[in-house]
Amino acid sequence: MVAQLISLRWALFTNGFKRSPWQLVGAIIGALYALGVIVMAGVGLAFLGANSPQLAGSIAVLASAAVVLGWAIIPVFFTGMDGSMDPQRFALFPIPSRTLALGLLLAGFIGVPGLATLLFLMLTSLAYLSAPVALVLSVLGAIVGAFFAQLVARLGISIAGTMATRRGVREVASLLLFIPIAFAGPAIAQVGRNGEAVGSILPAVADWVRYTPFGAFGGLAYSLERGDYLALGLGLIVGVASLILAGWGYTHYLRRAIVTPPRIKSAAAVKGLGWVGRFPATPWGAVAGRATTYWLKDPRYAASLAIVPMLVILYVFVIPSLNSDSADGGFSFALVLGPLIGAVLGFSISADISYDSTAFSSHVLAGVSGAADRLGRVVALMVIGIPLTLLAILVPLGVSGDWNQLPGGLGAGLGALLTSAGLASVASARWTYSVPLPGDSPFKTPPGTGMRMALTQSALFLAILVFCAPTLGFYVASLVTGDPLWSWVTLAVGLVLGIVLAALGVRIGGRWMERRMPELMQAVMVNR
Amino acid sequence: MPPLDPQAAVSLRGLVKMFGQHRAVSPFPLDVPSGSFYGLVGPNGAGKTTTLSMFTGLLRPDAGQASVHGVDVWADPMEAKRRLGVLADGVRLFDRLSGRQLVTYTGRLRGMPADEVDQRTNDLLRVMDLEDAGDKLVVDYSAGMTKKVALACAMIHAPRVLVLDEPFEAVDPVSAANIRDILNQYVANGGTVLVSSHVMDLVQRMCTHVAVIADGQLRASGTVDEVRGGLSLEERFVDLVGGRGTGEGLSWLRS
């Protein structure tokens, strides 16, 4: 049964390529990239191991601990996990939950990230080339560690999934994650100041990390190589205990997941027309009302809103703390915040039609003009985005108290919002890509999305940067010279250029969309 | 093939759609007379939805023409769409809106004035028996309720032609009867309905005309009586389409 689950995963993996050659190209590029990085890291460790075994060993421990920790964090907070092997899908088959759990975990190795992790952990053993017994133990530890990584990833997703029925949990969780980072900032800065100290700090850190569940498997060979048998025993206990505990937790979750089909509590009723009624009764007004409702109600949109407070914390608190001894208290970075958040928010409507999924058919069938569709979405974005961008402009100024920068900040921030809204309006009329489907957990990612999405998004971001360049140029000039004239010029250029580009984006994007409506419709049908 | 018939409510000439090497719909002529209640029947995968998609603007045909009351669909799609009300099968709705919001949304998308939309939305929710559910989100609706609210969306702009893909699927018998009454009245007042269905009995009772499609080809078309030729529509359908088993079942399937 375990073998069958693994071969099912393999079939799903290879069938994904049949749908589009792009996915194959993406997977190959991703695999080559991962392979290159891993091999380079392995070779580096081998060389280091020949010269300074202790340092190499501690790097191996820290690196493998970081990888396992990454599996615990990244799927939950950032990427989500491919839902094609969700335990619920096996609910109707008579498979014992223990067997199912083992099969699903082993199946997790099929795919680039799973294999890359296994390979990377095994290559960290190269740090012990001079100690054969430790080398063997390290390889064994790597295999178990890679398995443990799959286990914590799935356990984390399961726990997050049970909480995710409540909206906003993920956003709060992502925020909580930034608190340790905020505190880590000053610590890293301290270390960075005296570079030589790193060499002596790493072994000290590794000495502690090997007793954590994440570092335990990587730490076994390290302890053995140093002849520290007490630590070896202790590490073994921690490792086995975490494995058992996590395994028990996952099996327990699985058992529950199989008998409780996901049931999302029905949402509260809407009295009257809500946002749909707050806009003019025209096609663009209807689109704006509907899109605003989605911004506020659809968890998939909330993810792009959650990034705003995260960036504020990063730029207003974390980065200044890193550079606290530079002339301006490291604060000048925070002035980037306005344009950055403006650009990110404008960017988020580039996936609008993909998020609509096949509900987009109502626009096609109604014969909505392309410009009305584009304009409505931009208006909704402004309703949500202008207050947030203003916040991102005003908070840093409020903290620094340098209100002379206000006009420049407004010009750069609002200019970036408008510019990227215009460009995103054109882009989303042309390119769609797979996103989590409506009603799906935002933790799920549709398989094989990576490459096409990355290409479209990086091209779009580059375009936004190019079109924002004039405004940003004046903004930088105003920051450098401190001359209020440049600040006012930034405001004028930012607003005028932004409004012109947004209007052009609505018109051009609208024309493209009208011409391509059936093709867009087919694209969202495929993504379903 | 004769030219498009401008008198017909819907006129199709040689629409073709290829999906890779597979020809989903082969060219055939079909005229849906104005004021008819036209049924489109065929087995699963016969090309019904593909055909409907190609003259409602959802899918661009590889070849061929289609017109709605004389307006060429692919030459002037906006004008054609004004005359069409469509219930598409297998597509989502904007289901984070309430039923009332969704119907209003569709009306406003078509550029109708606010008070007219409000009044028609109330009427539609009432006849679809969705008044109580009007303020609930569509995502919380049952399958049948979802179908009904989609039907309301298709009707709000009082189109000249209603195209309904599987309208009665999952709809309870009472609602289905109510909907049939509405459709009959609509046809009596000069509207045209084109409906696809698997349920032969329903088509035989409800429709004036019928077309049978299988493997993307037109097997028969005309008035229901012409097509069935004395048999029941279901018997005639099986004759035309074939594919009935020989009676040898699953010998092991018993308890």
Residues of A with Cβ-Cβ distance to B82 under 8 angstroms: 367
Tokens of B110: 């078509």
Put simply, the answer to whether A518 touches B57 (Cβ < 8 Å) is: yes
A517 touching B, CB under 8 A? yes
Task: Please state which of the ranges A401-415, B28-42, B187-201, B236-250 shows the lowest mean pLDDT.
Answer: B236-250
Put simply, the answer to whether A365 touches B56 (Cβ < 8 Å) is: yes
Q: Return the higher-pLDDT residue of A404 and B218.
A: B218
Looking at the partner chain, which of B104, B109, B117 has a beta carbon nearest the beta carbon of A368? B109
Average pLDDT score over chain B: 91
What SS3 state is found at A272? coil
pLDDT tens digit at each of 528 positions of chain A: 888 888 888 888 787 677 666 667 777 777 888 888 888 888 888 888 888 888 888 889 988 998 998 888 877 766 566 667 777 788 888 888 888 889 988 988 887 788 889 999 999 888 888 888 999 999 999 999 999 999 999 888 887 766 655 545 555 555 565 555 555 555 555 555 555 556 677 788 888 888 999 989 989 999 988 888 999 999 999 999 999 999 999 998 888 877 776 555 556 677 888 899 999 999 999 999 999 999 887 767 766 676 677 677 767 766 666 555 555 555 566 788 889 889 988 988 888 888 888 999 999 999 999 999 999 999 999 999 999 999 888 888 887 777 888 999 999 999 999 999 999 999 988 877 666 666 555 545 555 455 666 777 788 889 999 999 999 999 989 888 888 899 999 999 999 999 999 999 999 999 999 999 999 998 888 765
Looking at the partner chain, which of A271, A359, A367 has a beta carbon nearest the beta carbon of B82? A367
B136 touching A, CB under 8 A? yes
Q: How far apart are CA B152 and CA B133, in angstroms?
A: 13
A377 touching B, CB under 8 A? no
Instruction: Please give the residue of chain B at the shortest CA–CA distance from A353.
Output: B94
Put simply, the answer to whether A522 touches B84 (Cβ < 8 Å) is: no
| Model pLDDT for residues B202-215, shown as the tens digit of each residue | 899 999 999 999 98
* Average confidence (pLDDT) over B162-187: 90
The residues in A 214-273 lying below 8 A from B, measured between CB atoms, are 266-267, 269-273
Put simply, the answer to whether A267 touches B139 (Cβ < 8 Å) is: yes
Pairing outcome for strands B37-41 and B29-32: unpaired
| Model pLDDT for residues A226-272, shown as the tens digit of each residue | 888 999 999 999 999 999 999 999 998 888 877 776 555 556 677 88
A368 touching B, CB under 8 A? yes
Residue A292 pLDDT: 93
A369 touching B, CB under 8 A? yes
Tokens of B92: 């989502």
B140 touching A, CB under 8 A? yes
* Average confidence (pLDDT) over B35-44: 92
Residues of B with Cβ-Cβ distance to A518 under 8 angstroms: 57-60
Residues of B with Cβ-Cβ distance to A363 under 8 angstroms: 109
Q: How far apart are CA A293 and CA A361, in angstroms?
A: 18
User: Cα separations (Å) of A445 from A76, A86, A391, B226, B255?
Assistant: 11, 12, 31, 52, 42
| Model pLDDT for residues B115-142, shown as the tens digit of each residue | 999 999 999 999 999 999 999 989 889 8
Cross-sheet strand order for the sheet of B161-165: B84-87, B161-165, B192-197, B37-41, B209-214, B217-223
Q: How far apart are CA B51 and CA B49, in angstroms?
A: 5
Residues of B with Cβ-Cβ distance to A294 under 8 angstroms: 94, 96
Task: Please state which of the ranges A25-29, A52-56, B53-57, B89-93 shows the lowest mean pLDDT.
Answer: A25-29
Residues of A with Cβ-Cβ distance to B111 under 8 angstroms: 282-283
Looking at the partner chain, which of B57, B78, B101 has a beta carbon nearest the beta carbon of A274? B101
Residues of A with Cβ-Cβ distance to B114 under 8 angstroms: 281
Residue A95 pLDDT: 85
Q: How far is A1 from chain B (nearest CA, A)?
A: 24
Q: How far is A368 from chain B (nearest CA, A)?
A: 6
> Does the reported pTM lie above 0.80?
no
Put simply, the answer to whether A293 touches B97 (Cβ < 8 Å) is: yes
- For A288, the enclosing helix (H) or strand (E) is helix A283-297
- C-beta atoms surrounding B170 within 10 Å: 13
Put simply, the answer to whether A297 touches B77 (Cβ < 8 Å) is: no
Q: How far is A356 from chain B (nearest CA, A)?
A: 7
Residue B250 pLDDT: 83
Q: Residues 6 or more apart from A177 whose CB is under 8 A from it?
A: A73, A77
Put simply, the answer to whether A273 touches B109 (Cβ < 8 Å) is: no
Residue A167 pLDDT: 46
Name which of A404, A389, A390 is nearest A490 in CA terms.
Answer: A404
Instruction: Please give the residue of chain A at the shortest CA–CA distance from B105.
Output: A286
Mutate to test the interface with B, among A270, A515, A524 (most CBs of B within 10 A): A270
Looking at the partner chain, which of B57, B108, B139 has a beta carbon nearest the beta carbon of A281? B108
Put simply, the answer to whether A367 touches B108 (Cβ < 8 Å) is: no
Residues of B with Cβ-Cβ distance to A291 under 8 angstroms: none
Put simply, the answer to whether A290 touches B97 (Cβ < 8 Å) is: yes
- How many contacts does A have with B, using Cβ atoms within 8 A? 120
Residue A254 pLDDT: 86
* Average confidence (pLDDT) over B58-70: 94
Put simply, the answer to whether B104 touches A439 (Cβ < 8 Å) is: no
Q: How far is B170 from chain A (nearest CA, A)?
A: 20
Put simply, the answer to whether A294 touches B96 (Cβ < 8 Å) is: yes
- Confirm if B78 and A364 have CB atoms less than 8 A apart: no
B57 touching A, CB under 8 A? yes
Q: Residues 6 or more apart from A175 whose CB is under 8 A from it?
A: A306, A309, A310, A313
B95 touching A, CB under 8 A? yes
Q: How far apart are CA A62 and CA A474, in angstroms?
A: 45
Q: How far apart are CA A431 and CA A33, in angstroms?
A: 25
Residues of A with Cβ-Cβ distance to B55 under 8 angstroms: none
Put simply, the answer to whether A438 touches B96 (Cβ < 8 Å) is: yes
Q: How does DSSP assign chain B, residue by residue?
A: -PPP-TTSSEEEEEEEEEETTEEEE---EEEE-TT-EEEEE--TTSSHHHHHHHHHTSS--SEEEEEETTEETTTSHHHHHHHEEEE-SS----TTSBHHHHHHHHHHHTT--HHHHHHHHHHHHHHTT-TTTTTSBGGGS-HHHHHHHHHHHHHTT--SEEEEESTTTT--HHHHHHHHHHHHHHHHTT-EEEEEES-HHHHHHH-SEEEEEETTEEEEEEEHHHHHTTS-HHHHHHHHH-----S---TT---
